[in-house]
Amino acid sequence: MATRVQPGSNRGSARTQLRSGPLTGYGVAVTTGIRDLPFPDAVIFDLDGTLVDTVETRIDAWLETFEEVGLPATRDILVPLIGLDGRRLAREVAALDGQPIDFDRSEAIDKLSGEIYERKNAHPKPLPGVREIVDAIETRGLEWSIATSSRKDQVQTSVKALGLDREPSIVDASHVEHAKPEPDLLLRAAEELKVDPGRCWYIGDSTWDMVAAVAAGMIPIGVTAGSAVDRAALAGAGAAAVADTLSEVTDALTAG
């Protein structure tokens, strides 16, 4: 049986061959209760599917994109890929159809998907418990930020929907060369917060969030409320704990 990855260990690249399966190479994590985890100095969140209920909108946008560019894709193909850097997602879908594409083509497809997504994402809804978890974090005097693979121009609509008193610190795909599942976004967020990565909780809804957090040496916490995957997938990708809602994480922060 594999043991749970400890904070600060196994930091490094998360590169793998996605076509062999979204969890290949990462084993099965042993999850625990959130309250049993080391208390953090900072909390870093994914955005889509974690703070805002946008995963289905994202999937719809990708389906329309691939139809427009003539690449076959289904929801079943896309679900395990959601959370990846969009350029990498485009390359994976193209490769599955036996049509490898170069960086420029993947960049163009990702940009088109972003434009379609922004049009569809006119009225995003925050997931339950966002305000409460932010209040708990700030009451405890913890640092926090958002680290998302989304393009910069796709982020603002969703962040505004959170209804926060002030705009949080945000690291998006424009800040790094490699987005998730590489750890670069998360490490950049920790650096900007001036917090050791091993003292951060990273909260996300996708397997790639968990993979990136493990690679960054952070403590990965999966939340299923807005996710397209289940608890087993998040645990298998390295989650140290899995919650149904943000409220469960809030309870742990309040009690810690």
Distance CA 157, CA 140 (A): 28
- State pTM to two decimals: 0.86
Tens place of pLDDT per residue across the chain (256 aa): 333 333 334 445 443 333 333 333 333 445 679 999 999 999 999 999 999 999 999 999 999 999 999 999 999 999 999 999 999 999 999 999 999 999 999 999 999 999 999 999 999 999 999 999 999 999 999 999 999 988 777 888 999 999 998 889 999 988 898 889 999 999 999 999 999 999 999 999 999 999 999 999 999 999 999 999 999 999 999 999 999 999 999 999 998 6
- Per DSSP, the residues of 221-251 read EEE-TT-SS-HHHHHHTT-SEEESSHHHHHH
Distance CA 155, CA 124 (A): 11
Domains located in the chain, CATH noted: 18-53+124-255 (3.40.50.1000), 55-120 (1.10.150.240)
Q: Which of 213, 237, 89 is nearest to 150 (CA)?
A: 89
CB neighbourhood size of 163 (10 A): 10
